[in-house]
Chains A and B, each alone.
Chain A
Amino acid sequence: MHDFNEPFVTAWQLVAAADARLAGIVLLSLRVSLAATAIACIVGMPIGALLAVGRFPGRRALIVLFNGLMGLPPVVVGLLVYLLLSRAGPLGSLGLLFSPGAMVVAQAILVTPIVAALTRQVVADAWTEYREQLRSLGAGRPRAAATLLWDGRFSLSTAALAGFGRAIAEVGAVMIVGGNIDGVTRVMTTTIALETSKGDLPLALALGFILITVVLAINAVAYGVRGWAERRWG
């Protein structure tokens, strides 16, 4: 008979022993979600800044669209990327399906709207303050967008962080496009789902601890960096 505490004890032993299988899963999770967040920032931040300062037809519709896409269901993104990357799909020749690459693509698509929408908010607030001064100095809108992105770099870390939090915590998209293959595409969330259903609670719990710790630690670091930056630059 399982003691209620037993899985916790075993989980802690796994973490303390830096179990190789556990470490592999954690590292893959971090690699995939960091890569996806990086891509989302490179694509989403300029989009957000241009939505904030730009004046072009369809701007309002795009803002509503990106805000709406923040709540994109991961399984739907997973399904769409699956169709794109499947052998018969338009990008099937890349052979990405069931690889970490496919997981990066799916998470990047999931996270880009979040980064873009949060960036737009930060840049729009700054734009109301800087607008006249930047125009007076002769900055065109693209230049103003770039200036405001750089000026808001510390506030924007929050947008990147929200994106990373979303990426590392989602199950649906990586499950579908990665296939949860042991040693290849198994990440923390998919392992937790699988092991819980198999009844291997210690491994699932150990990963749960680590997942929460990673998210908390990254938030703490970002909070610290922001505080330092505000004292340093105002």
Chain B
Amino acid sequence: MAWLTLDNLGLTEGGTRIVDGVSLSLAAGRTVVLGPNGAGKSTLLRLIHGLLHPSGGELHWPHALSQAMVFQRPVMLRTTAMANVAYGLKLKGHAARECAIRAREALGRAGLEHLAARPARLLSGGEQQRVALARAWALEPELLILDEPTASLDPASSREVERIIGEIAANGTRILMTTHNLGQAKRLADEIVFIDRGRVVEQTPVRDFFTRPRSDAAQDFLKEESP
């Protein structure tokens, strides 16, 4: 049962088709979008999250899903890690007490309880990204979108971020993410959507994609990206 269907979705900017007639049915719990630089992965995620408006086509949500998004570079407010997590809850209209309780829980699940009172912007990049994940997790979204969440992190931080994403998925939240790390895609994905130049080239279960990709473009991509 698809939770999102894209019908000929497009975004044109300055005459360039960044997303070019994408039709997709997303039904998997954990979907990873792969593709070369500039393929339109981030733009596709932003269209789905509603940060960008498509210049053509439609999104069909069979049931409206509550969403949260984690970006490549975490954006932290000049306050404590705890208050950063609580901020998202406050915007949803929760009472201050409940915000504090849920924020503390989310920080705990992300393994950050000891950093709750620290100024968020002075944390390391990996810690900030985990605070951003906790902030998204605290909202208990039905769909979590992540745009290259580990692109600027060291391996240890990346593993920790992967662990958290895995746990969020295990709690029933749908995951839609992009990554440049093929190992990560293998570990996290149920299904791969491969896009190139704004178009969907193939949509394949993860095991098949890495052993026998159907498209030439994906074969070339895997050859180039694999060591």
Q: Which residues from chain A sit less than 8 Å from chain B, CB to CB?
A: 129-130, 132-133, 135-139, 143, 147, 151, 153-154, 232-234
Contact = CB atoms under 8 A, between A and B. Distances in A.
A129 B75 CA distance: 7
Contacts of A136: 49, 51, 68-69, 71
Contacts of A129: 75
B71 A133 contact: yes
A141 to B, nearest CB: 13
A135 B51 contact: yes
A212 B46 CA distance: 53
Contact of B79 (A139, A143, A233): A233
Contacts of A137: 68, 87-88, 91, 135
Contacts of A233: 78-79, 119, 121-122
B189 to A, nearest CB: 22
B92 A138 contact: yes
B75 A130 contact: yes
Interface of B: 46, 49, 51, 68-69, 71, 75-79, 87-88, 91-92, 119-122, 135
Nearest to B139: A137
Given A151-B78, A234-B119, A139 B91 contact: yes
Nearest to B120: A234
In this complex, the member of A129, A133, A147, A233 whose beta carbon has the largest number of chain B beta carbons within 10 angstroms is A133
Given A136-B69, A233-B78, A233-B121, 4 more contacts: A129-B75, A132-B51, A138-B88, A153-B78
Contacts of B135: 137
Contacts of B69: 132, 136
A234 B121 contact: yes
Contacts of B120: 234
A207 B178 CA distance: 65
A147 B119 contact: no
Pairs of residues from A and B, 4 with the lowest C-beta to C-beta distance, nearest first: A234-B121, A133-B75, A233-B78, A234-B122
Contacts of B51: 132, 135-136
A151 B119 contact: no
Contacts of A135: 51
B71 A132 contact: yes
14 contacts: A129-B75, A132-B46, A132-B51, A132-B69, A137-B68, A137-B91, A138-B88, A138-B92, A143-B91, A151-B78, A233-B78, A233-B79, A234-B120, A234-B122
A135 B49 CA distance: 10
Contacts of A143: 91
A38 B71 CA distance: 38
Contacts of A138: 88, 91-92
A138 B135 CA distance: 13
Nearest to A153: B78
Nearest to B75: A133
Given A136-B51, A136-B68, A139-B91, A147 B77 contact: yes
Nearest to A140: B91
Nearest to B88: A137
Nearest to B122: A234
A135 B71 CA distance: 12
B8 to A, nearest CB: 25
A16 B135 CA distance: 57
A80 B92 CA distance: 46
B78 A234 contact: yes
A132 to B, nearest CB: 6
Contacts of A139: 91
Nearest to B135: A137
Interface centre among A135, A143, A147, A234 (most CB of B within 10 A): A234
A151 B77 contact: yes
B93 to A, nearest CB: 9
Nearest to B73: A129
A153 B78 CA distance: 9
A83 to B, nearest CB: 44
Contacts of B121: 233-234
| Residue from A130, A135, A136, A233 with most neighbouring chain B CB atoms (10 Å) | A136
B138 to A, nearest CB: 11
Contacts of A151: 77-79
A130 B120 CA distance: 14
A114 to B, nearest CB: 24
